[in-house]
Structure 1
Amino acid sequence: MSAEGMEYDAARIEVLDGVRVVRKRPGMYVGSTGERGPRHMVLEVVGRAVNEVLAGRAGSVEVTLTADGGVRVADDGSGGSSEADGDTGGPDLEAQLTSLQDEFETRGRHIAAAYPFGVGLFVVNALSSRMTAEVRGEGARRVYAYARGVAVEPPAAVGPATGCGTAISFWPDTEIFETTSCSFTELAELFRQVAFLNRSLKISLTDERPADGPRSVLYQFPDGVRDFVAALGAERGAALDPHVIGFEREDPRMAGTMEVALLWNGAHKDSHEDSHEESIRGFANSRATSEGGTHVDGFRDGVAAAVTAYARKRGLLASADPDLRADRIGEGLTAVVSVKLDRPEFLGCTRGLLGNTDVRVCVAEAVQEYLADWFEEQPERAAEVVDRVVGGNHQD
């Protein structure tokens, strides 16, 4: 190519802002113009409602896939939308709907960052053929209406209302997306996971699209990640010890809390899965950390230290034997490690790896201490677990 053909000056620069930016490059904001895009839009709107519950302003979230291709997300929160959210540093609802925001959801442990990007309601608005937000509170009902990110009319109070809450409805734009349909099964599994990780949450999903009538699921798990591990263990096969070991702890050194549950599985004659394989799932502020991170490393360290100490006490390891390695203690282990941090540090472009260095030490100490106590309280169960772990390491 000649130098002349490569000339580029200010006249060639196209400056985009607001809605045009999002609509011109939708994949940058929601990952895809295929099915993944509309699913991400659902998660963004659901994320706002879930955070209302976690902040103590609401108790439940209802998600509906409407027969006309829309999505409605409703919560029973305070309905306030005119003042900034002082708990999270977040903007008011109208600002969220009409302008790009910084990722304020990562600023506190009480915010569920369960969605991969955290681009906010404005992006959903811009990529929807239409969106309405209805807010009920203080005896009045207020409605916001938009078409492809642009206000149809000024926000208006449209009459009295009982109760309080917010309902956001949107229709992914067929001009943008190859498909605007979301999978009921995939969304149900995602909401189930978020409910496991946030015990205060009650969330339902209703699909009005089937010709033979609506279908619905409702999730609420009072025992949090203990329920999560019990469900995972049941999926993998019968448990060597049916009792799920679990605890919660706050540690100011990592500016957050941890919730840990684990279960050692045994073989199951009807299971096609090798239940002896390790399955450890990590989460940070309700975001799945598929690549692991310091919370998962700390968990492994803590289990290895506790098993090593108990094995030496029972004479299963001689003084000359090395400590058990953290990466060799997972046979038959199913676990969930969930941390909620004021300042989570996600590493890598996919943000699937937690990097907070203090978390590893804090989780390791807590796991080692809790397991040591459990081993003492349950000597028969502890012996079976430790014998298997030590025996497996000796075979190697």
Structure 2
Amino acid sequence: MSGEGMRYDAADIEVLEGREAVRKRPGMWVGSTGERGLHQMVFDIVGWAVRAVLATGGGCVDVTLTPDGGVRVADDGTAVPFEGAGDGSALGLEALLTSLRAGPEPDGRHIALVGHCSVGLLVVNALSSRLTAEVRCGGVHRVQEHARGVALAPPAAVGPTRTSGTTVAFWPDAEIFETTQCSFAVLAERFRQVAFLNRSLEISLTDERRTGGPRKVRFRYPEGVRDFVSALDAETGAALEPDVIAFEREDPRMAGTMEVALLWGGSREERLHSFANSRLTHEGGTHVDGFHDGVAAAVTAWARRRGLLTAQDAGPGADRITEGLTAVVSVKLDRPEFLGPIRGLLGGTQVRACVGQAVREHLGTWFQERPDRAAAIVDRIIRDRHRQ
């Protein structure tokens, strides 16, 4: 081919904006046009609802899979008016549904990230054959209809209301997605995790597609990650120590809070689940490193005080200390530092130091207050170490 035929200049560049850009390359925004992308759409709308509920201190999010292939998400949180703030300081719901650059991805310790990212309401709207948004605030119930990302008419008042909240119903576009059927099991498992990690939140999931009648599950866990670890342990059998060791602490050095729960069970495997701002950190990170540091320091210090280790003995390795350990480590940070292309690894050196110190202090106090139970745990760790 000649150089003349390979010429490429500004005239060859196609600029797509807004809904056109999303519909042209849907996989760029939601990850795939298969089931995974479909679930990301649901997670994004549910994430919006969860943030609205947490902003009020707690409440309910109800998700329904409708018989005609739609998904309806209703919350009783703080509603965003269609027009936004009167002074222009905040964007309205209509702008968020129709503008790709309506604002940055939400962040901060009070934000629960339900999906692997927050793609924005326009993306869901543009990839849906139709979407209905309902806002209940200021005593008025208003509704707006959209088709493939375009508003069909201005928001219309449909009646008075005494409640506050938002309902978004959308129908994924069959022209875009390979399937429009969400997995009840996948959604339920993620919603269960989010409920464990946010104790003031209640999430329900109803499947109205079943021929045998609706199926519904509801998740609410007042004890937070303590309940999470109890549920994980129930899957493996009886533990040496039936009481979950759990604590919550705020540390300004890392600009956030941590919630940790753990117990040693009878299995030989470590089962550790870690989260940052409710996002699952598949690759771990500094909060996991800090957790391991703290557990190792507390176990080693208690063993030395009890004469199980001399001053010259090296402490047991991390693999021995965490053998049979079931734990959940959740941090909520104002400015989380995610590393890597899929943001599954948490960074931040202060996070490691803060979590390590907190775990060491709390677990050390727990050992002192329950010496018999501590002995059952630490003796096994030291005994297994000597058998190596």
TM-score category (smaller protein) = over 0.9
Query: Residues 63 and 92 from structure 1, CA distance in 2 versus in 1: closer, same or farther, beyond 3 angstroms?
Result: same
Task: From 295, 308, 329, give the equivalent of 2:300.
Answer: 308
Q: Alpha-carbon deviation of 1:203?
A: 0.7
What residue is the counterpart of 1:34 in the other structure? 34
Aligned partners of 1:4, 1:177: CA distance in 2, in Å?
39
Deviation at 1:104, TM superposition (A): 3.3
CA deviation profile, 1:107-145 (whole Å, cap 9, x unmatched): x10000121121111100000000010011222111121
Q: CA deviation at 1:91?
A: 3.8
Listed one character per residue, the Cα deviations across residues 73-101 of structure 1 (whole Å, up to 9, x for unaligned) are: 00012334243599xx9743222211124
Deviations 1:210-247 (A, max 9, x none): 01110100000000000000000011111111100000
**Match status 1:117 vs 2:117:** yes
Matched, 1:346 2:338: yes
- Looking at structure 2, the residues matched to 319 and 161 of structure 1 have their Cα atoms a distance apart, in angstroms, of 70
Deviation at 1:326, TM superposition (A): 3.5
Show CA shifts across 1:20-78 (max 9, x none): 10001100111110111111100000001111121116510000000000000000123
Counterpart position of 1:78: 78
Match of 1:68 in 2: 68
Task: Please name the residue that 2:94 is paired with.
Answer: 94
Q: CA deviation at 1:325?
A: 3.3
* 1:289 is aligned to 2:295: no
2:110 equivalent to 1:104: no
Percent of counterpart pairs with the same letter? 66
Paired amino acid for 1:261: A
How has the CA–CA distance of structure 1 residues 85 and 321 changed in structure 2, closer, same or farther, with 3 Å as cutoff? farther
Q: Which residue of 2 aligns with 1:205?
A: 205
Q: Which residue of 1 aligns with 2:291?
A: 299
1:153-210 deviation per Cα after TM superposition (whole angstroms, max 9, x unaligned): 1222233223221100000000000001101111111100100000000110000000
1:51-66 paired onto structure 2 within 5 Å: 51-56=51-56, 59-66=59-66
Residue 216 of structure 2 aligns with which residue? 216
| Cα drift, residue 390 of structure 1 | 1.7
Match of 2:358 in 1: 366
CA RMSD of aligned residues (A): 1.7
TM-score (norm 2): 0.96
Contact 1:300 1:327 in 2 (8 A): no
Residue in 2 that maps onto 1:272: none
Instruction: Confirm or deny: 8 A CA contact 1:302 1:363 kept in the other structure.
Output: yes
Supply the AA of the counterpart residue of 1:192.
R
Structure 1 letter corresponding to 2:105: F
Q: Is the 8 A contact 2:281 2:345 kept in 1?
A: yes
Q: Which residue of 1 aligns with 2:229?
A: 229
CA contact (8 A) 1:206 1:217 kept: yes
Q: What displacement does 1:12 show?
A: 1.3
How far apart are the structure 1 equivalents of 2:330 and 2:85? 29
Q: Tell me the distance in 2 between the aligned counterparts of 1:394 and 1:340.
A: 39
The residue type equivalent to 1:280 in the other structure is L
Whole-angstrom CA distance in 1 between matches of 2:24 and 2:353: 45
**Does structure 2 conserve the Cα–Cα contact (< 8 Å) formed by 1:241 and 1:263?**
yes
2:166 maps to 1:166: yes
Quote the residue 1:186 is aligned against: 186
Whole-Å Cα distance in 2 between the matches of residues 52 and 203 of structure 1? 13
Which amino acid is 1:325 matched to? G
Q: What is the SS of the residue equivalent to 1:4?
A: coil
Query: Match of 2:152?
Result: 152
The corresponding residue for 2:309 is 317
Normalised to the residue count of structure 1, the TM-score between the two structures is 0.94
Task: Note closer, same or farther for the CA distance 1:90–1:218 as it changes in structure 2 (3 Å cut).
Answer: farther
Give unpaired runs (5+ residues) of structure 1. 267-274
> What is the one-letter code of the residue matched to 1:184?
F
Match of 2:2 in 1: 2
Q: Deviations over 1:319-356 (max 9, x none)?
A: 11123333441111000000000000110001000002
What is the aligned residue count? 385
2:349 aligns with one of 357, 361, 366? 357
Counterpart-to-counterpart distance in 2, 1:192 and 1:121: 23
Whether the 8 Å CA contact 1:57–1:78 is kept in 2: the answer is no
